[in-house]
């Protein structure tokens, strides 16, 4: 079981908005011409051998020139700020199929891409192609505001292919910074965040139990999306108590504090990577182009299981996508 952390979190993950705004060189990583040449060469090698996404391995997509940089990314995601933006992937001169291959290929060199839905997709298409009036439509398939949340994987990657006509700002929040404010101003609620809550959409057919905060082996982790907590308890017919609702209200209020977040507009060719244990991410609403499918805002989403990821306690079980089933693999063959 996790212990309750009663001291403020220190270190690079406990950043404030003003800090990281002044330290852009620590998280914005423009790709060198050599790195781009390595991507082009790896892509050309795939095509010469008739290989296509997702039917190739990292050995099929060599990135030797990028290896030192990728190692730094991995370290910074787990033990640094918890996020970065790699800038300059030349999506404007790649086909849609080539962009898929490049995004997936980079993911293979960072960790293991995991399945994002019961169909077994390894790349998610973040586009406003769903019916916003249907409550069953996932928010990332609309142009609506996407609340702060974590995804069920060690790391989430978002590669911007096209921007919206207006809006669609990406926002990141430091979990450590949030925790420190709650510890300072609302310590009487801390224990509630460590208890297990039912949460829907944790890559299982029914809501699963998980703590919202966990402190294990010296590292603080978070898992949160309020709508999924509320839905999980609704499905299980276990209504939230007034004190639990108050705890979630406090958490939401602290998350909304602009001191804890950094906002950024992802440009085409930007790959944003964030550690789901230490960073919450969000997106503002947006106005899309008239032809949504052809010209509309589009991001590719990667969920990665990382080789250097932290271990979790029993009350905060690790989540890395949907489990692979024989039926899933047969359908994708």
What is the end-to-end Cα distance of the chain in Å, rounded? 40
pTM of the model: 0.94
pLDDT of res. 142: 72
Please answer whether residues 102 and 89 qualify as being in contact, where contact means their C-beta atoms are separated by less than 8 angstroms: yes
Using CB atoms within 10 Å of the CB of residue 330, give its burial: 0 to 12 exposed, 13 to 18 middle, 19+ buried: exposed
d(C-alpha 108, C-alpha 141), whole Å: 25
* pLDDT average, residue stretch 99-105: 98
DSSP letter assigned to residue 218? T
Residue 2 has pLDDT above 80, yes or no: no
Residue 212 has pLDDT above 70, yes or no: yes
Q: pLDDT tens digits, residue range 26-39?
A: 999 999 999 999 99
User: How would DSSP label each residue in 251-305?
Assistant: HHHHHT-GGGEEEE-PPTT-EEEEETTTEEEEE--EE--SSHHHHS-EEEEEEEE
pLDDT bracket for residue 139 (50, 70, 90): low
pLDDT bracket for residue 260 (50, 70, 90): very high
Residue 44 has pLDDT above 80, yes or no: yes
pLDDT bracket for residue 330 (50, 70, 90): confident
Q: pLDDT tens digits, residue range 69-80?
A: 999 999 999 999
| Beta carbons within 10 angstroms of residue 75's beta carbon | 11
pLDDT above 70 coverage of the chain, percent = 94
Structural domains of the chain, with CATH? 26-332 (3.60.130.10)
Query: Cβ neighbours of residue 288 under 8 Å, at least 6 residues apart?
Result: 128, 143, 164, 165, 296, 297
* pLDDT average, residue stretch 116-126: 92
Helix locations, 186-267, DSSP H: 190-194, 226-235, 242-255
pLDDT of res. 173: 97
pLDDT bracket for residue 285 (50, 70, 90): confident
pLDDT of res. 221: 98
Query: Cβ neighbours of residue 1 under 8 Å, at least 6 residues apart?
Result: 313, 314, 315
> Can you list the positions of beta strands (E) in the chain?
28-30, 83-87, 112-113, 124-126, 146-149, 155-162, 166-167, 170-174, 196-199, 208-211, 213-216, 219-222, 261-264, 271-275, 279-283, 286-287, 298-305
pLDDT of res. 316: 95
In this structure, the strands spanning 298-305 and 112-113 are antiparallel
Residue 129 has pLDDT above 80, yes or no: no
At 72 the three-state DSSP class reads helix
pLDDT of res. 220: 97
Tell me which residue of 66, 157, 177 sits closest to 113, measured CA to CA.
157
Does the N-terminal peptide bond of residue 329 adopt cis geometry, omega within 30 degrees of 0?
Answer: no
């Amino acid at each position: 079981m996790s212990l309750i952390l009663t001291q403020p979190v220190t270190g690079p993950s406990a950043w404030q908005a003003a800090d990281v705004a002044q330290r852009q060189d620590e998280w914005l990583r423009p790709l060198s011409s050599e790195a781009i040449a390595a991507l082009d060469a790896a892509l050309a090698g795939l095509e010469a051998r008739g290989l296509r996404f997702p039917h190739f391995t990292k050995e099929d997509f060599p990135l030797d020139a990028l290896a030192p940089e990728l190692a730094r990314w991995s370290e910074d995601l787990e033990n640094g700020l918890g996020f970065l933006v790699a800038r300059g992937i030349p999506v404007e001169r790649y086909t849609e199929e080539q962009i898929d291959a490049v995004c997936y290929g980079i993911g293979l060199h960072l960790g293991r891409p995991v399945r994002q839905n019961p169909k077994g997709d390894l790349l998610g298409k973040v586009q406003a192609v769903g019916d916003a009036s249907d409550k069953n439509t996932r928010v990332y398939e609309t142009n609506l505001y996407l609340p702060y949340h974590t995804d069920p994987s060690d790391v989430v990657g978002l590669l911007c292919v096209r921007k919206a006509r207006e809006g669609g700002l990406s926002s990141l929040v430091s979990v450590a910074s949030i925790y420190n404010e709650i510890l300072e101003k609302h310590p009487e609620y801390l224990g509630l965040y460590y208890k297990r809550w039912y949460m829907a959409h944790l890559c299982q057919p029914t809501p699963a139990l998980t703590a919202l905060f966990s402190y294990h082996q010296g590292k603080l982790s978070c898992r949160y999306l309020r709508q999924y907590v509320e839905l999980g308890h609704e499905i299980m017919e276990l209504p939230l108590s007034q004190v639990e609702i108050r705890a979630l209200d406090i958490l939401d209020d602290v998350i909304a504090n602009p001191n804890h977040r950094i906002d950024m507009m992802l440009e085409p060719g930007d790959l944003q990577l964030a550690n789901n244990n230490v960073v919450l991410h969000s997106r503002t609403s947006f106005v899309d182009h008239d032809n949504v499918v052809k010209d509309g805002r589009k991001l590719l989403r990667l969920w990665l299981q990382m080789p250097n990821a932290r271990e979790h306690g029993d009350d905060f079980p690790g989540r890395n996508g949907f489990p692979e089933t024989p039926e899933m693999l047969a359908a994708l063959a």
